[in-house]
């Protein structure tokens, strides 16, 4: 398995239109998968994150710069 993305990179999922941070990379039935932390925003307030499993083919790198957390959650 040679993953395209690494832990702590911020990815964009084209299918769900969500951004999240890679927490773990694994393989499932020959497909590279990413366990991603997706921030939860309630009425403009960051209240934590959900964990979601995303297949590599649906993903692209969100940004290559260091991300300011307040911009990520808003």
The 10s digit of each residue's pLDDT in 26-62 is 999 999 999 999 999 888 788 889 999 999 999 999 9
Q: What pTM value is reported for the model? A: 0.78
How confident is the model at residue 65, as a pLDDT? 45
Given pLDDT bands bounded at 50, 70 and 90, which one contains residue 72? low
CB 24 within 8 A of CB 35: yes
């Amino acid at each position: 398995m040679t993953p395209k993305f690494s832990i702590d990179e911020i990815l964009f999922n084209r299918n769900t239109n969500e951004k999240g941070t890679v927490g773990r990379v694994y393989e499932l039935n020959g497909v590279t998968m990413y366990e991603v932390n997706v921030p939860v925003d309630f009425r403009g307030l960051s209240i934590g994150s959900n964990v979601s499993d995303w297949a590599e083919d649906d993903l692209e790198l969100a940004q290559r710069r260091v991300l300011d957390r307040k911009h990520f959650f808003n």
